[in-house]
């Protein structure tokens, strides 16, 4: 018997008394551990903005009326013009100007030639300052946010959860989830930080917050 057979045999033995029709969600799992590290009553949107900024990302908060202007300001600041745009991104939010939006199909050389990508996010996690993309409308496949060197991501304030368990409860576990905590970065053996190794070197985040007063 090899190791594979031994492991599978132990699993079958452990499941021997499970009724044939029982599903995982039929059995409640005690979760007595701490579900959130945010303080009770803490402003999760403000905490999210603070933690994202800790990763050297730029954070802008605006209302929906100011979103197009905020997108234009971020793109102008970065000097990017050629951008990947996922299917389902609301075109009415795109600012008028010199920017060129590239939609699928995009191959890897085509993506690599672009300046960046503009996407939405499925969720945000305040405690960790993390964006979560699930390939839904306006988010696209994973390569769109990994190959270009710049990522501008828009997340709604009501999609920011306090901590990981709350965020996961809102997400569909059958979708491919991408967790983004700041620009791509790693450290070599001497702990020198190197950015852009596995993804974009620059991340800008725009939080669309209906709690903010509408701009005239």
**DSSP string covering 83-150, please?**
EE--TT--GGGSPPSS-EEE-S---HHHHHTSSEEEEE-SEEETTTTEEEE-S-TTT--GGGGTSSSE
Mean pLDDT within 132-148: 96
pLDDT confidence bin for 213, thresholds 50/70/90: low
pLDDT > 90? residue 208: yes
Q: Are 155 and 131 in contact (CB under 8 A)?
A: yes
- The β-bridge partners of 161 are 125
Answer whether residue 17 shows pLDDT above 70. Answer: yes
Q: What is the dihedral of CA 81, 84, 89, 92, to 10 degrees?
A: 20
Mean pLDDT across 15-41: 89
Eight-class DSSP state of 157: G
Nearest residue to 101 via CA among 57, 146, 144: 144
- Please tell me the predicted confidence (pLDDT) of residue 174: 92
Residue 107: predicted pLDDT: 94
Pick 140 or 31 by higher pLDDT. Answer: 140
Strands ordered across the beta sheet of 116-120: 58-62, 202-208, 150-156, 116-120, 82-84, 100-102
Between the CA atoms of 130, 209, 154 and 72, what dihedral angle is there, to the nearest 10 degrees? -140
- The overall average pLDDT reported for the chain is 93
Read off the pLDDT of each residue in 173-178 and give the average, rounded to a whole number.
Answer: 94
> 216 pLDDT exceeds 70?
no
Structure tokens at 147: 């190959």
134: phi then psi, degrees, rounded to nearest 5: -120, 20
pLDDT > 70? residue 130: yes
CA gap 141, 133 in Å, rounded? 9
The arithmetic mean of pLDDT across residues 8-21, rounded, is: 93
Instruction: Compute the distance between CA of residue 203 and CA of residue 55 in angstroms, rounded to an integer.
Output: 9
- Supply the pLDDT for residue 214: 54
What is the average pLDDT across 119-128? 98
Which of the residue ranges 16-20, 22-26, 186-190 has the most confident prediction, judged by mean pLDDT?
16-20
pLDDT higher than 80, residue 101: yes
CB crowding 14-43: b at 16 or more within 10 Å, else e? eeeeeeeeeeeeeeeeeeeeeebebeeeee
Confidence category of residue 205, pLDDT binned at 50, 70, 90: very high
Q: What percent of the chain has pLDDT over 90?
A: 80
- Full-model pTM: 0.86
Contact by Cβ (8 Å): 133, 119: yes
pLDDT at 191: 81
């Amino acid at each position: 018997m090899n190791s594979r057979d031994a492991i599978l045999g132990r699993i079958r033995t452990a499941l021997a008394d499970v009724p044939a029709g029982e599903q995982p969600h039929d059995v409640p799992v005690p979760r007595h551990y701490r579900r959130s590290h945010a303080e009770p009553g803490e402003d999760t949107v403000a905490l999210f903005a603070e933690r994202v900024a800790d990763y050297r990302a730029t954070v802008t908060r605006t209302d929906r009326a100011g979103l197009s202007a905020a997108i234009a300001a971020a793109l102008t600041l970065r000097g990017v013009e050629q951008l990947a745009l996922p299917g389902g991104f609301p075109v009415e939010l795109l600012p008028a100007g010199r920017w060129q939006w590239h939609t699928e199909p995009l191959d890897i050389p085509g993506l690599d030639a672009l300046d960046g990508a503009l996407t939405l996010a499925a969720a945000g996690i305040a405690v960790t300052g993390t964006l979560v993309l699930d390939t839904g409308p306006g988010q696209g496949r994973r390569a769109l946010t990994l190959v270009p060197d710049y990522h501008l991501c828009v997340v709604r304030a009501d999609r920011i959860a306090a901590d990981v368990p709350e965020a996961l409860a809102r997400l569909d576990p059958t979708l491919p989830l991408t967790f983004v905590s700041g620009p791509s970065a790693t450290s070599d053996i001497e702990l020198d930080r190197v950015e852009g190794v596995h993804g974009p070197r620059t991340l800008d985040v725009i939080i669309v917050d209906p709690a903010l007063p509408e701009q005239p």
